[in-house]
């Protein structure tokens, strides 16, 4: 059995802080000034819907993932580009807006689609001007490019002065097969997107209960009722029979300073990040041993092969349950213990003695 060194858990990244205000850490702790987030249980996960809460939770601990993003929520990205969709998608969104949108607002029809001919013509003309130059002044070239960029940006802002950047959608023609003729006749059009896909922060059950129980910074709402810790624990355990073991492992490694994420992509239960997903790749793949899983040699070699290919290491984790303890109340979690086994693959070097 090997244990992870405590110095490896230390990090200088400010994003690894827990979502708790530093000013609120006074003894005794005053719950009235503590940050409390709100999550909504949907039967599988817990959703955080407020944009401000989404930004805080992801920046202060890398909790959850975006519902419409791969990992990092789109709300956190400050340099987001306009969305590119097909024409059939745009028409379908217009139909949704007619059925479910505000009746008092006028729908932006297809007649208001503004082609980017003026902007394209300006880019082409600027490129021709640069080609005509025989001598390029390296000192003044950066300044000239910066002025052109400002003029282009001002033209776009004047054309869409009533719309924000995230409300503009680029519509391209429909095409089932992207051939050469399709790109030759491609004329993108800009429109105002009336149907906005709201980005939500999806918390796993382990993340949600850690925020509620471990940090006391999350309240879970289910059927318009705020659940207490006992009700939340019972609800999560009823939907996942392995929730107790998974949460014990999650709480254990989170307490050691690691950022814990789902590891189903790499064949494990969790992934351990020292600095967060946005800074570096995961260092360990967590595989939880249970009675329902077969730990034969082929399965172990498969885990080691995946870890070696992705430059990671395998941590076999076993949850030691005390005798006579029920999993209904979270007060018994301190009696659980976690055993770690680090798997390494030693490849002996072959020496060629034929020379």
| Paired strand residues for 285 | 271, 314
Classify residue 201 by burial, with Cβ atoms within 10 Å: 0-12, 13-18, 19+.
buried
Q: Residue 148's domain spans which residues? A: 98-192
Last residue of a domain, one of 148, 169, 192: 192
Residue 179: per-residue pLDDT: 61
First to last CA, the chain: 42
Residues 104 and 172 placed together within one structural domain of the fold: yes
Residue 118: per-residue pLDDT: 57
Q: How far apart are CA 253 and CA 273, in angstroms?
A: 10
Residue 129: per-residue pLDDT: 62
Last residue of a domain, one of 147, 167, 192: 192
Residue 139: per-residue pLDDT: 36
* Residue with token string 């805080």: 56
Number of domains within the chain: 2
Residues 284 and 178 placed together within one structural domain of the fold: no
Instruction: Output Rg (C-alpha) for the chain, integer angstroms.
Output: 27
Q: How far apart are CA 208 and CA 214, in angstroms?
A: 10
84 domain-assigned: no
Residues 146 and 57 placed together within one structural domain of the fold: no
Residues 56 and 139 placed together within one structural domain of the fold: no
Residues 53 and 125 placed together within one structural domain of the fold: no
Residues 68 and 43 placed together within one structural domain of the fold: yes
Output the domain CATH number for residue 326. Answer: 3.40.1350.10
The answer to whether the predicted template modeling score (pTM) of the entire model surpasses 0.85 is no
Q: How far apart are CA 40 and CA 202, in angstroms?
A: 10
Last residue of a domain, one of 192, 211, 234: 192
Residues 216 and 331 placed together within one structural domain of the fold: yes
From first to last of its 355 residues, the chain has per-residue pLDDT tens of 444 444 444 444 444 445 544 444 444 445 555 789 999 999 999 999 998 899 899 988 899 998 888 778 876 554 567 778 888 888 888 887 777 765 444 444 343 444 445 555 666 666 666 555 443 333 333 333 344 443 444 444 444 444 444 467 888 888 766 566 777 777 788 877 777 777 899 999 999 999 999 999 999 999 999 999 999 999 999 998 899 999 999 999 999 999 999 999 999 999 999 988 888 899 999 999 887 776 778 888 888 899 888 999 999 999 998 876 665 567 788 888 899 999 877 766 655 555 5
Q: 41: which residues sit within 8 A by CB, 6+ positions away? A: 47, 208, 220, 221, 222, 227, 235
Residue 346: per-residue pLDDT: 72
| Paired strand residues for 46 | 41, 203
The 3-state DSSP class for residue 42 equals coil
Residues 14 and 120 placed together within one structural domain of the fold: no
The residues that are catalytic are: 273, 281, 312
Contact, 284 vs 319, CB < 8 A?
no
Q: How far is CA 28 from CA 24, 25, 32, 36, in A?
A: 10, 8, 12, 18
The 3-state DSSP class for residue 232 equals helix
Residues 335 and 216 placed together within one structural domain of the fold: yes
Residue of 165, 169, 157, 247 whose CA lies nearest to 208? 247
324: left (phi over 0), alpha (psi -120 to 50) or beta: left
């Amino acid at each position: 059995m090997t244990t992870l060194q405590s110095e490896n858990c230390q990090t200088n990244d400010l994003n690894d802080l827990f979502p708790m205000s530093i000013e609120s850490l006074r003894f005794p702790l005053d719950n009235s000034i503590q940050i409390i987030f709100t999550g909504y249980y949907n039967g599988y996960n817990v959703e955080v819907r407020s944009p401000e809460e989404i930004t805080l939770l992801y920046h202060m601990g890398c909790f959850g993932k975006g519902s419409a993003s791969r990992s990092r929520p789109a709300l956190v990205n400050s340099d987001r580009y306009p969305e590119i969709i097909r024409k059939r998608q745009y028409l379908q969104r217009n139909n949704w807006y007619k059925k479910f949108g505000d009746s008092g607002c006028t729908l932006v029809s297809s007649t208001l689609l503004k082609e980017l001919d003026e902007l394209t013509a300006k880019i082409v003309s600027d490129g021709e001007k640069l080609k005509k130059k025989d001598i390029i002044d390296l000192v003044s070239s950066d300044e000239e490019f910066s002025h052109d960029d400002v003029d282009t940006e001002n033209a776009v802002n004047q054309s869409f002065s009533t719309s924000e950047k995230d409300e503009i959608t680029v519509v391209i023609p429909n095409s089932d097969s992207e051939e050469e003729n399709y790109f030759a006749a491609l004329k993108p059009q800009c429109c105002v997107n009336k149907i906005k896909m709201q980005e939500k922060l999806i918390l796993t059950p382990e993340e949600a209960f850690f925020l509620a129980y471990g940090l006391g910074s999350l309240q879970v709402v289910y059927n318009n009722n705020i659940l207490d810790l006992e009700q939340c624990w019972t609800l999560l355990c009823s939907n996942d029979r392995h929730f107790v073991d998974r949460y014990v492992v999650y709480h254990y490694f989170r307490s050691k300073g690691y950022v814990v994420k789902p590891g189903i992509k790499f064949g494990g239960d969790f992934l351990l990040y020292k600095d967060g997903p946005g800074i570096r790749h995961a260092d360990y793949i967590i595989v939880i041993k249970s009675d329902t899983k077969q730990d034969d040699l082929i399965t172990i070699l498969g885990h080691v092969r995946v870890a070696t290919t992705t430059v990671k290491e395998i941590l076999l984790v076993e949850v030691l349950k005390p005798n006579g303890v029920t999993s209904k109340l979270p007060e018994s979690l301190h009696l659980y213990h976690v055993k770690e086994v680090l798997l390494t693959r030693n490849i002996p070097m072959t020496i060629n003695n034929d020379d």
